[in-house]
Structure 1
Amino acid sequence: MTLQRDALTAAGCQKIFTDTISGAKTSRPGLDKALEQLRDGDTLVVWKLDRLGRSVKNLIGFTEQLDHAGVGFRSLTDQIDTTTPAGRFFFHVMASLAQMERELTAERTRAGLEAARASGRVPGRKRIMTDSKITSARKLLDAGTPAVDVAEHLGVSVPTLYRWIPASTR
């Protein structure tokens, strides 16, 4: 965060707005506040293009809105400046490449998960409730031990205990 703030300050930004929310989210208070204050002739400067959005469609739509309002756009890390024709072209190319990279990553992740399943492995986090824990929990619950105590003894939360042993099955 300090690196980004320092880069924006060095670029001559007079006002700096921050968000801790992902660029994929549509509602970001810092960005919303910045947009409220932008006027014709201003330039919105971001540290990196992916801080603004995740899809080409959204990024292009966003910069077109800025353009209609007479506001320029600069991305420091990506060397994009939409106040020039070459900058606008470069923006579209970089946005397309960024989206392609995200799609390839998702595709590789899906392929890895399918390969894991095909080889008999269960992808994802290891089950916290093993068969022996479920058996122990059933015995303790049947003996009248409160669910809170059973969950604590097994090292799980009460909702996890009930997810594996619903009250209706006892």
Structure 2
Amino acid sequence: MGQRAAIYCRVSTADQSCERQVDELTAFAERGDYEVLGVFKETASGASANRTARNRIIDLAQARQIDAVLVTELSRWGRSTQDLLNTLDKLAGWKVSVVAMSGMTFELDTPHGRMMATLLAGIAQFERDLLSERVKSGLAAAKARGKKLGRQSGQRPKSDRLAPKVIALSAEGRSYRWIARDLGISKNTVAEIVKRRKSSEAPQVETAL
């Protein structure tokens, strides 16, 4: 057999299936004489940072157990241009390449791979500059309309306003993750609110002098 490979498949929503990607990549691996050590599938939006299956592949790469990652297209692997560039660079350090069915192979230790990395870095910087420009333009437009930006004096932070609901849901036995998703705040914020509440309810012990 040839190089050891992991197949990575991703769909964006639960009503989609990875099976087509699996079939296509399995056939692609056979044609390319890859030894497939595992097929990793997950459902996650393109921008989602929660990529359990992808992280498992990265762990395999770090352990030098695979030589390549097979994907139908690069957008399946990278969350953004910058994320793609970062992970390609990390994989290159372990001598692992990302191979797309389009025929594009990213190996940053080759002249072609370094050229592609330079192009991706330029695109990533362009995306950051464009986003920054849009944010500044949006703030300027809002200010011109007389809209006050930022939290106003006397306005309570969102976490403080939601604290009673957090405490009530926690008392019902809801998990921090469930509460965070339901109220639109982070799990860390939920944990901090509950921690503050428990601290305020803790009995005060007087120390005799």
What is the TM-score with the length of structure 1 in the denominator? 0.50
Q: In the alignment, what sits opposite 2:91? A: 66
CA contact (8 A) 1:40 1:70 kept: no
Give the residue type in structure 2 aligned to 1:17.
Answer: K
In structure 2, what is the equivalent of residue 117 of structure 1?
143
| CA distance 1:73–1:115, change in 2 (3 Å) | same
How far did residue 17 of structure 1 move? 3.0
Amino acid at match of 1:28: R
Greater fraction strand: 2
Q: C-alpha distance in 1, partners of 2:75/2:99?
A: 9
Cα distance change on mapping 1:68 and 1:116 into 2, 3 Å: closer
Unaligned runs of 5+ in 1: 124-158, 160-170
Match of residue 16, structure 1, among 40, 46, 49: 40
Does the CA contact (< 8 Å) of 1:80 and 1:91 recur in 2?
Answer: no
Contact 2:60 2:66 in 1 (8 A): no
Aligned AA (1:10): E
Displacement of 1:72 after TM fit?
0.9
> Aligned pair 1:48/2:71, yes or no?
no
Match of 1:166 in 2: none
TM-score, with structure 2 as normaliser: 0.43
Amino acid across the alignment from 2:41? F
Residues 94-103 or 4-13, more deviating: 4-13
Cα distance, 1:97 vs. partner?
0.5
More divergent stretch after superposition (90-99 vs 16-25): 16-25
Determine which structure has the larger helix proportion and give its number: 1
Kept after mapping to 1: 8 A contact 2:85/2:120: no
Aligned length: 122
- Checking the alignment, whether the CA contact within 8 Å between 1:72 and 1:81 is kept in structure 2 is yes
Q: Cα distance 1:105–1:6, how it changes in 2: closer, same or farther (>3 A)?
A: farther
1:34 aligns with 2:57: yes
Query: Which of the pair has more CA radius of gyration?
Result: 1
- 2:19 and 2:148 mapped to 1: Cα distance? 42
CA–CA distance in structure 2, aligned partners of residues 41 and 32 of structure 1: 14
Identical columns (%) = 21
**Distance in 1 of aligned mates of 2:123 and 2:22:** 24
* Other-structure match for 1:82: 106
Unaligned runs of 5+ in 2: 1-10, 30-35, 150-182, 184-209
| 1:47-97 deviation per Cα after TM superposition (whole angstroms, max 9, x unaligned) | 3358424464x54443233123221123557x6422353133113312420
Structure 1 residues 92 and 110: alpha-carbon distance in aligned structure 2, compared to 1, 3 A threshold: same
Q: Which amino acid aligns with 1:36?
A: D
